[in-house]
């Protein structure tokens, strides 16, 4: 079972939005920062995984036949082009809106990727200009920057600037807790879901958790809470930071102060995290197609299956017509070898050796090989149990298992097998029984 790209993106967005809203309403108020970080990262994985699971999970009981698929098959066979080459220029061309949608989507992806790589490039430039120094068993990089920030294990500090050691401990926590990995994962997610406004709020929530964890790390170093709060208060005038880096003076300073001064959540509050389980189950069920039969649908299926469909097939030789037919269906013909009379199960069309032969309808090649008296033979299976045979070919251009479209060249006229001259023997079968192809050839 395949899944449409935009259908997948839509389902992933729904899962992401539902779970993130739950986080904002319930979990974000709790002081379990390690768990909250895990929940936020799990939201990314669940939003990506649940739509995929619904597309690859096998039916648990039994599946129904889908009505849309049946209509698609009917349409594929019974739709007859009504526009002739003479009046084709009068047919208005319709605008393909999906091309526009794809263009806008991939333009957004391209812009996000460009911004990401530009940020990485600027960071590498800063690293190249930086000078490494060692202070208190920590390697720092003096660089032409205005603020202290960390990226993986790198901690950058402005040149000739005095700073509070607590800020350095804070940034060291970011490095030790691998917060940069989270940020890179989020940026990649945003690249493909840039059109969802909630992903930008999500990024702020994750960076808030990073800051809460770093603050906890500092306070565990036997630092007075009052001294640390005073340092944070002095940094309330902030600048807009780069989203890829970790800054001490982030836009959530007031929230950090509030989080450090609030009462620790009760241990029993951890039970609320189990709310994520039924929500995930609901999302999974919502995207899983029904697996129980419905009597009304079954009746419709039966009606459709018993509806008489008269398909049309193209003429099998390019540039030829019924005037080149030398032997008709159900006619008495003589076997060129035994000279015995037999009933003809198809039509013979004379043509020069090497004349292109085309598939008369969309289908799948079930045979393309030499079959003794038939010579080089091609069999093509079409929808609704129709099958076409093409015999005495000089050569093939298709192979067994290959899908072909109406009008595709599949071989060339020859005189292989039991044949007294160059021609194509063409047969049309319905439910394995030969029928008159002239009743189905396009006029």
Region 65-83 average pLDDT = 42
Q: Which two tokens stand for residue 348?
A: 């013979």
Specify if 139 maps to a domain.
no
pLDDT of 70:
40
The pLDDT tens digits of the residues spanning 101-138 come to 889 999 999 999 999 999 889 889 988 998 888 877 77
Identify the domain boundary among 236, 259, 286: 286
Specify if 279 maps to a domain.
yes
Claim to verify: residue 252 and residue 197 sit in the same structural domain: yes
pLDDT of 89:
46
Q: What percent of the chain has pLDDT over 90?
A: 41
Specify if 300 maps to a domain.
no
Specify if 302 maps to a domain.
no
The pLDDT tens digits of the residues spanning 373-404 come to 899 999 999 988 999 999 999 999 999 999 99
Claim to verify: residue 256 and residue 179 sit in the same structural domain: yes
Claim to verify: residue 105 and residue 210 sit in the same structural domain: yes
Specify if 354 maps to a domain.
yes
Helical pair 165-176 and 198-219, crossing angle rounded to 10 deg: 120
Indicate whether 243 pLDDT > 70: no
d(CA 412, CA 395) in angstroms, rounded, equals: 6
Specify if 331 maps to a domain.
yes
In the structure, what pLDDT confidence band is assigned to residue 345 with cuts at 50, 70 and 90? very high
Indicate whether 88 pLDDT > 50: no
CA distances from 442 to 82, 336, 338, 429 (A): 11, 30, 35, 16
Strand pairing class (246-247; 131-135): unpaired
pLDDT of 220:
82
Claim to verify: residue 102 and residue 214 sit in the same structural domain: yes
The DSSP secondary structure of 128-157, one letter per residue, reads HH-EEEEETTEEEEEES-SS-EEETTEEEE
The pLDDT tens digits of the residues spanning 130-139 come to 888 887 777 8
Is the model more confident about 284 or about 410? 410
Identify the domain boundary among 238, 264, 286: 286
Claim to verify: residue 173 and residue 242 sit in the same structural domain: yes
Claim to verify: residue 280 and residue 403 sit in the same structural domain: no
Q: Report the range out of 16-25, 85-94, 152-161 with the highest average pLDDT.
A: 16-25
Q: Residue written as tokens 């008159």?
A: 436
Claim to verify: residue 259 and residue 169 sit in the same structural domain: yes
pLDDT of 416:
93
Least confident window among 30-44, 81-95, 96-110, 406-420 = 81-95
Specify if 148 maps to a domain.
no
Identify the domain boundary among 258, 286, 314: 286
pLDDT of 87:
44
CA distances from 83 to 12, 86, 171, 364 (A): 42, 8, 70, 26
Which structural domain range is residue 39 located in?
Answer: 5-53+96-119+159-286
Region 23-49 average pLDDT = 92
375: which DSSP letter? -
User: At 411, which CATH number?
Assistant: 2.70.70.10
Specify if 79 maps to a domain.
no
Is the model more confident about 416 or about 285? 416
Q: Report the range out of 173-187, 250-264, 331-345 with the highest average pLDDT.
A: 173-187
pLDDT of 149:
85
Least confident window among 193-202, 216-225, 288-297, 417-426 = 288-297
Proportion of the chain in helix, strand, coil states, percent, rounded to 5: 45, 20, 35
pLDDT of 75:
40
pLDDT of 299:
56
The mean pLDDT value of the chain amounts to 81
The pLDDT tens digits of the residues spanning 283-331 come to 888 877 654 444 555 555 555 455 555 678 999 998 888 899 999 999 8
Region 191-200 average pLDDT = 93
Region 56-69 average pLDDT = 49
Claim to verify: residue 236 and residue 337 sit in the same structural domain: no
Number of domains in the chain: 2
Indicate whether 206 pLDDT > 50: yes
Query: Within its chain, how far is the Cα of 415 from the centroid?
Result: 48
CA distances from 234 to 204, 365, 423, 426 (A): 22, 76, 94, 89
Claim to verify: residue 335 and residue 269 sit in the same structural domain: no
pLDDT of 328:
92
pLDDT of 290:
57
Indicate whether 4 pLDDT > 90: no
Claim to verify: residue 365 and residue 272 sit in the same structural domain: no
The pLDDT tens digits of the residues spanning 142-171 come to 888 887 888 888 888 888 777 777 888 888
Claim to verify: residue 330 and residue 256 sit in the same structural domain: no
Claim to verify: residue 265 and residue 168 sit in the same structural domain: yes
User: Do 152 and 179 contact (CB within 8 A), yes or no?
Assistant: no
d(CA 243, CA 93) in angstroms, rounded, equals: 45
User: Do 398 and 378 contact (CB within 8 A), yes or no?
Assistant: yes
């Amino acid at each position: 079972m395949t899944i449409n790209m935009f259908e997948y993106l839509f389902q992933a967005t729904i899962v992401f939005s539902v779970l993130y809203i739950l986080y904002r309403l319930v979990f974000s108020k709790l002081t379990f920062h390690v768990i909250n970080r895990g929940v936020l990262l799990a939201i990314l994985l669940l939003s990506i995984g649940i739509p995929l699971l619904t597309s690859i999970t096998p039916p648990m009981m039994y599946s129904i036949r889908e009505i849309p698929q049946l209509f698609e098959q009917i349409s594929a066979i019974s739709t007859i082009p009504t526009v002739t080459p003479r009046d084709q220029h009068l047919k208005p061309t319709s605008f393909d809106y999906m091309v526009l949608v794809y263009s806008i989507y991939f333009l957004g992806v391209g812009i996000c990727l460009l911004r990401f790589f530009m940020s990485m490039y600027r960071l590498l430039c800063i690293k190249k200009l930086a000078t490494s120094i060692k202070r208190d068993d920590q390697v720092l990089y003096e660089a032409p920057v205005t603020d202290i920030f960390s990226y993986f294990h790198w901690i950058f500090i402005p040149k000739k600037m005095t700073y509070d050691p607590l800020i350095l401990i804070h940034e060291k926590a970011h490095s030790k807790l691998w917060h940069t990995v989270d940020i890179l994962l989020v940026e990649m997610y945003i690249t493909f879901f840039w059109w969802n406004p909630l992903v930008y709020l999500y990024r702020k929530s994750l960076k808030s958790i990073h800051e809460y964890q770093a603050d906890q790390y500092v306070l565990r170093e036997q630092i007075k809470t009052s001294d640390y709060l005073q340092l944070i208060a002095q940094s309330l005038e902030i600048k807009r930071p780069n989203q890829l880096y970790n800054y001490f003076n982030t836009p959530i300073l007031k929230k950090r102060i509030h989080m450090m001064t609030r009462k620790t959540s009760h241990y029993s509050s951890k039970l609320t995290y189990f709310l994520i389980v039924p929500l995930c189950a609901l999302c999974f069920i919502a995207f899983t197609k029904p697996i129980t039969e419905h009597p009304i649908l079954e009746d419709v299926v039966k009606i459709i299956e018993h509806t008489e469909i008269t398909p049309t097939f193209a003429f099998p030789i390019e540039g030829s017509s019924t005037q080149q037919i030398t032997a008709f269906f159900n006619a008495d013909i003589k076997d060129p070898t035994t000279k015995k009379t037999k009933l003809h199960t198809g039509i013979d069309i004379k043509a020069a050796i090497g004349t292109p032969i085309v598939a008369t309808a969309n289908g799948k090649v079930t045979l393309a090989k030499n079959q003794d008296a038939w010579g080089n033979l091609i069999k093509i299976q079409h929808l609704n149990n129709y099958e076409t045979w093409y015999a005495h070919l000089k050569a093939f251009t298709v192979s067994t298992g290959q899908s072909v479209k109406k009008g595709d060249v599949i071989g060339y006229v020859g005189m292989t097998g039991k044949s007294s001259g160059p021609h194509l023997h063409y047969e049309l079968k319905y439910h394995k029984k030969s029928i008159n192809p002239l009743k189905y050839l396009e006029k």
